[in-house]
Amino acid sequence: MRIAYFVHDLGDPAVARRIAMLRSGGAEVVAFGFRRTDQAPTEVAGVRTVDLGRTYDGRFAQRMGKAALASLTVERWRGQLVRADVILARTLEMLAVAEAARIRCRLNARLAYECLDLHRLMLSPGPKGQVLRFVERELMRRSNLLLVSSPAFLTAYFEPVQGVGRDIELPSLLVENKVLDLEGRPPARRARPPGPPWRIGWLGAIRCQKSLDALADLAKRRPDLAEVRIAGRPAYGEFRDFDAQVAEAPGVSFAGPYTPADLPRLYGDVHFCWAIDFMEEGLNSAFLLPNRLYEASRYGAVPIALSEVETGRYLADRGFGLPLAQLSDLEGVLDGLTAAEYAGLGAGLEAQPDEAFAVGEAECRALVRALAGGLIPHPAEAERPKAKLVA
């Protein structure tokens, strides 16, 4: 099967992982996308790319403008699209570009919408939010499949707000942000040094000022209790001064970007994973299940999460992790934690099956079949209260 994959950022590591999944599932892929860097990559995960231009993190209006321009010039890609059986679009702006390509190039390809985050504007009750939701509804009516990475995206937004399953007949598929492991070998988890100090790892997309404030403050005040190790790609626009704040906190270190091959070492050096996010508090932050939840769990770092968000419910349903009722509880919880209690947290994590955190070739093939139309339902999730977000 041939898939044209429209993405918002060709440099996003999660895009490379999805392409690798599609290829492992037997698909031939070409990636069309914007970029956040000066130079466009010529290939991602072994597939050729088509550069649609540069966009900028945090500038939603600029991204929408570039997407509109791309939609008007899609005929120039017809030669690379005409053989596509499926067009997969990651994010709403790429769904608009993908549908424009399907119409203007007269393609018979199926259209799939991949939603891994809910932008704050999508949840706004104001005019901008209303317009974006209208556009999304109309595009979903023309789509064949909706992919989400968290069940809360369905129960808190797509079903009650957008009418999926009620006003819009659109099959959905849960594809969690699990680690891709094509070798099928669960990793050997490394022994941690005894704590305290308890080492907290914050890896991946680093984008939460409130989290940095809390972690840096704790590490500065209580070097006997906590150390913080950060690695990944900071969204500098979300911080007052990320580099300066890290430099001023002696108990906080930043290792920069990393590759999937670094995950065993990075998570093997920490006791806990910071799986809390306040960037869009009460909105997307309450609904997502982040990559780090699966990565940390697979490599033996105990996730720390707030009890009342989807990540906390995920941990509670499965009986592992360190839940916090509120952020201010962190110091007290760590202060009272004994070596025996930490060993118990580790045992709860060890009891989880590896397939809870990783996917292999069989799951990749199932994904490609679902995109092709042979939908495989995801396991029924426990009933969740449906949040009232917007009118």
At 174-222, the pLDDT tens digits run 999 999 999 878 887 778 888 899 999 999 989 999 999 999 999 999 9
Residue 375: per-residue pLDDT: 52
Nearest 10 degrees: CA dihedral of 44, 50, 56, 59? -120
Residue 368 has pLDDT above 70, yes or no: yes
Domain ranges in the chain?
2-178+361-372, 198-356
Question: Can you tell me the mean pLDDT for 59-83?
Answer: 81
* Fold of the domain spanning 198-356: Rossmann fold (3.40.50)
Residue 39: per-residue pLDDT: 84
Q: Answer for the pair 97, 111: CB distance below 8 angstroms, yes or no.
A: no
**If pLDDT is split at 50, 70 and 90, which confidence band does 58 have?**
low
As a whole number, the mean pLDDT across the chain is: 89
Task: Output the six-digit token pair for 217.
Answer: 């403050």
Residue 192: per-residue pLDDT: 87
CATH number corresponding to 2-178+361-372? 3.40.50.2000
Task: Match 């939701």 to its residue by tokens.
Answer: 133
Task: Output the six-digit token pair for 132.
Answer: 């974006």
Q: Which of 36, 32, 148, 17 is nearest to 97 (CA)?
A: 32
| Other beta carbons less than 10 A from residue 210's beta carbon | 15
Q: State the Cα–Cα distance between residues 370 and 149, nearest whole angstrom.
A: 15
Residue 389 has pLDDT above 60, yes or no: no
Phi, psi (degrees; rounded to nearest 5) at 162: -95, -10
Residue 322 has pLDDT above 70, yes or no: yes
Q: Answer for the pair 382, 151: CB distance below 8 angstroms, yes or no.
A: no
Between these two residues, 217 and 387, which has the higher pLDDT value?
217
Tens digit of each residue's pLDDT (9 = 90 or more) over 9-44: 888 888 999 999 999 999 999 999 888 888 888 889
Question: Can you tell me the mean pLDDT for 109-134?
Answer: 92
- Cis peptide preceding 385, ω within 30 of 0: no
Q: Which residues pair with 35 in a beta bridge?
A: 54
What percentage of the chain carries pLDDT values higher than 70?
95
